[in-house]
Structure 1
């Protein structure tokens, strides 16, 4: 049994959640990198697995940020149009 295995988080859960709840295109990129982590670890490429893990995390964060920004801009637009409609009456 090999007890010297290195744990590298694949961030797949965050990638999937950011894809479904935030921004689809950026989330898909995150899923692709997250899916590479375990294969690279199995091949013994710890540095490559860590790099893929970091990229998956980065893209999931970007996806969440874009999703939140879109929602905020949408709400600002809706409130601005509501205020504009109230002024016109």
Structure 2
């Protein structure tokens, strides 16, 4: 019988990218879960590997969302402060 191990994505690339460019705390959690996937696959824990993969993907997604929201809020804040400064009449 030819039994091959199922392919479970570890999402490590997304975890690293969201850690670097979006939200550090959530990205680190994503990296931890992504690092668990290959070890669980090697141990034969397919369900555990899939669960870690899903959690890594979820945390990477939340990290990206937090990063985008933070950037948008920063841009809005800068624009409001710029308009407030221009409206003060001290130019």
TM-score (norm 2): 0.94
Match of 1:69 in 2: 69
2:51 corresponds to 1:26 = no
Look up the match of 1:12.
Answer: 12
CA RMSD of aligned residues (A): 0.9
Q: Which residue of 1 aligns with 2:43?
A: 43
Aligned residues: 88
Q: Which has the larger radius of gyration?
A: 2
Measure how far apart 1:4 and its partner are.
1.9
TM-score by length of 1: 0.96
- List, as ranges, runs of 4+ consecutive aligned residues in structure 1 with deviation greater than 6 Å: none
Structure 1 gaps of 5+ residues are: none
Unaligned stretches of 5+ residues in structure 2 = none
